[in-house]
Amino acid sequence: MIFMPMLDIPLQCVNDAAIRFNIPAKLIISVLATERGKLGKVVVNRNGTYDIGPAQINSSWLPELKKYNITQADIQYNACININVGAWILSKKIAKRNSLLEGVGDYNSHTYRFNKNYAEKIRVNFTKISVLLS
């Protein structure tokens, strides 16, 4: 399996998720680069939720993921499951918006200023990654 050195992620998992959820692989990598999560890592948020693994999946998704037999351990310790869940969430967010960047921003927050700030970070990382992978 090939890894993206700057992120320590399996690129085959990114490619599979990109195909499965019809999202550009560079966009998934941009989210992973922006989130800066690590396999096994959990980050506690001010609001009492926590973010899990490379794609920093918010714990608020755990009840829905349970319906698909996906556990916290799955997304915390399995990079491919984490990346696929992140891409699934991203695809849902994009599909609900009229603008790609608003959908991307919703991956982080529905609050206008946080949404715009996050979308801009993704745009910058997407541009850098596009140059790196061209």
**What is the domain partition of the chain in residue ranges?**
3-120
Residue 106 confidence class, pLDDT cut points 50, 70, 90: very high
Helix and strand numbers, DSSP H then E, in the chain: 7, 5
Once rounded to an integer, what is the mean pLDDT over residues 108-130? 94
Q: In whole angstroms, what is the distance from residue 124 CA to residue 121 CA?
A: 5
Token duo for residue 22: 């019809």
Once rounded to an integer, what is the mean pLDDT over residues 104-113? 95
**CA–CA distances in Å: residue 93 to residues 41, 56, 105:** 23, 15, 8
What is residue 131's predicted lDDT score, i.e. its pLDDT? Answer: 87
DSSP 59: G
pTM: 0.92
Neighbours of 66 (CB within 10 A): 11
Exposed/middle/buried for residue 44 (C-beta within 10 Å: 0-12, 13-18, 19+): exposed
Once rounded to an integer, what is the mean pLDDT over residues 48-76? 98
The tens digit of pLDDT for each residue in 15-41 reads 999 999 999 999 999 999 999 999 999
Q: What is the largest CA-CA distance in the chain?
A: 40
